[in-house]
Amino acid sequence: MSDYRADFVEFAVASKVLCFGQFKTKAGRMSPYFFNAGLFNDGAKLKRLGEFYAKAILDSGIEFDVLFGPAYKGIPLAASIAIALADLGRNVPFAFNRKEAKDHGEGGTVVGARLEGRVLIVDDVISAGTSVRESVELIRAAGAQPAGVVIALDRMERGTGAQSAVQEVRDQYGIPVVAVATLDNLLEYLERDANRQADLAAVAAYRATYGV
């Protein structure tokens, strides 16, 4: 696995963002692991998180002009990624949206840079794909083109059909979806830790049942 992917999984576990146990998913499944990006909740963690996203974005080769972070979790993500990309020599504008339109001042629902050209959506995970759909509609309504989606973790798990939420987004909108790390990377991490063999067995069994 690419070094930054292995480092990201270790970072997420150390930050208690990625934890193991028994957790009920939105689909009603009992998952042996849980990823809560809201716990990247201090300056140092957010800085490192932005750096991981920046590496994944540059590694993907996706061409884009603007970063877009959907409210709410995408807002600090877009800002931290823009800072990390600038540190790597790529200074790009970023924008985010409000949940409710503002009726005074500049008005509207989009804050920050103008949505134009190729817009890269940044979010934490893709579950039902609702956030991506709303983002794509907003970007197209502004006359811009969605360039792709970048997320922290791809659970590689079936949705309501045979495909995962990530695969559904790729097929529906015809855009690439890039993850900083995937379930495969998580399993590789667990395989290397002799103290986590019970977690490895549980995650592997879950993937055998619900994976794609």
pLDDT (tens digit, 9 = 90+) per residue, 127-174? Answer: 777 889 999 999 999 999 999 999 999 999 988 788 998 999 999 999
- Mean of all residue pLDDT scores within the chain: 93
89: left (phi over 0), alpha (psi -120 to 50) or beta: left
Q: Is the pLDDT of residue 1 over 50?
A: no
Two structure tokens written together for 134: 């709303």
Distance CA 52, CA 77 (A): 11
112: left (phi over 0), alpha (psi -120 to 50) or beta: left
Distance CA 54, CA 83 (A): 9
Domains of the chain, residue spans: 3-210
| Average pLDDT of the segment spanning 101-109 | 59
Two structure tokens written together for 75: 């807002």
To which H or E segment does residue 179 belong?
strand 177-182
Q: Where are the alpha helices (DSSP H) in 15-112?
A: 43-60, 74-87
Known catalytic residue: 102?
A: yes
Burial status of residue 170 (CB atoms within 10 A of its CB: 0-12, 13-18, 19 or more): middle
Report pLDDT digits (tens) over 19-47: 999 999 878 899 999 999 999 999 999 99
- The predicted model scores a pTM of 0.93
What percent of the chain has pLDDT above 70?
95
Q: Catalytic residue among 16, 26, 99, 104, which? A: 104
Count of Cβ atoms closer than 10 Å to residue 167 Cβ? 18
pLDDT value for 105: 47
At the top level of CATH, which class does the domain 3-210 belong to?
alpha beta
Asked if 163 and 136 count as a contact pair (C-beta separation under 8 A), the reply is no
pLDDT value for 103: 56
Known catalytic residue: 99?
A: no
